[in-house]
Structure 1
Amino acid sequence: MKKSILTVLGIVAATLSILAADGQNELTVVIKNMKSTDGVLEVTLFDSEGNWLKEGQKQKVTIDNTSAVSVIFKDLPQGTYGVAVIHDANENGELDAGAFGIPIEAYGFSNDARGIFGPAYFDESQFELNANKQIEINIK
């Protein structure tokens, strides 16, 4: 009986340890290639193709220098993610476009994916997160 209780307690402890570790992943996104320190960077993390460029975790950060800016997303479960970045130079909350809908503000995606006639697709931008990870995005 004593061995059974210890076995059950061991299984429960191991399960709780796995579940606790599952939500502890941290993603650091390093954004490079800013042309100016005007405005803010809007960095959005998406957790599925269905949410891609629609609904995600958004962070707005000021640009202290043009060499690199880091953003950290904490307590993420393991899974597949994609990141989109906009350099919102005039801080109006959107990616401004000029003639023919061509963006006039810098932007970028994880894996440095680029769309041909629009934004990159999720499958081009996706990456697996199963431990703490750092990615770099060069905005253009």
Structure 2
Amino acid sequence: MKTLFLLFLMAVSQQITAQETATVNIIIENIANDQGEILLGMSTQEGFMKTKPDFSATSKIKDGKTTITFKDVPYGSYAVSSFHDMNENKKMDFEANGMPKEGYGVSNNPVLMGPPTWEEAKFEVNKTEKEVTIRF
């Protein structure tokens, strides 16, 4: 009886700790040219545009397009921010007036007049595969 009870507890604890995950494919289109690379971060609300992203990647560009895939992403709400690092200095460059020199985009492709907000950029990961398209 003790053994049966322990097996039951183990099975229940595995179900409680098992977390559903997904593969997230991020497609970036309309990139100005194939110079440099794309830097991308995918974050939960707590870290969006504030801290190091939960998931990050760099990718080369081919024919004005690139795809970045993250695997084992826990279900939840996320937002993506990305930019075209043409000179590969690992930072977004700005004009003297504060306007970006390099292309950029965020999930949901909002029309921006300033930094993106969480509400503008968030999306749900709630099935085994999610595709997000960003246009620069």
Q: CA RMSD in A?
A: 2.2
Matched residue of 2:97: which SS? helix
Q: Which residue of 2 aligns with 1:138?
A: 135
Deviation at 1:86, TM superposition (A): 0.3
- Give the Cα–Cα distance (whole angstroms) in 2 for the partners of residues 11 and 78 of structure 1: 25
Q: Which residue of 1 aligns with 2:25?
A: 28
Percentage identity across aligned positions? 29
- Give the Cα–Cα distance (whole angstroms) in 1 for the partners of residues 99 and 31 of structure 2: 18
The one-character-per-residue Cα deviations of 1:109-129 (angstroms, maximum 9, x if unpaired) are 00002321x221011100111
Report the structure, 1 or 2, having the larger helix content. 1
Instruction: Name the aligned partner's letter for residue 117 of structure 2.
Output: Y
Q: Which runs of 5+ in 1 are unaligned?
A: none
Matched residue of 1:81: which SS? strand
Residues 115 and 121, structure 1, Cα contact 8 Å, conserved in 2 = no
The one-character-per-residue Cα deviations of 1:77-122 (angstroms, maximum 9, x if unpaired) are 1111000010000111111111310111100000002321x22101
* Shift in CA distance, 38/104, structure 1 to aligned 2, threshold 3 Å: same
2:127 is the counterpart of 1:128: no
Q: Which residue of 1 aligns with 2:63?
A: 65
- Give the Cα–Cα distance (whole angstroms) in 1 for the partners of residues 18 and 34 of structure 2: 39
After TM superposition, what 4+ stretches of structure 1 lie above 3 angstroms from structure 2? 8-15, 17-21
Instruction: Name the aligned partner's letter for residue 108 of structure 2.
Output: N
* Shift in CA distance, 20/93, structure 1 to aligned 2, threshold 3 Å: same
Q: How many residues were matched structurally? A: 133
Q: Structure 1 residue aligned with 2:97, among 95, 100, 123?
A: 100
- Give the Cα–Cα distance (whole angstroms) in 1 for the partners of residues 57 and 100 of structure 2: 21
* Shift in CA distance, 135/15, structure 1 to aligned 2, threshold 3 Å: farther
Residues 108 and 114, structure 1, Cα contact 8 Å, conserved in 2 = no
Instruction: Name the aligned partner's letter for residue 133 of structure 1.
Output: K
Q: Structure 2 residue aligned with 1:75, among 72, 80, 83?
A: 72
Alignment of 1:109-128 (within 5 A): 109-116=106-113, 118-128=114-124
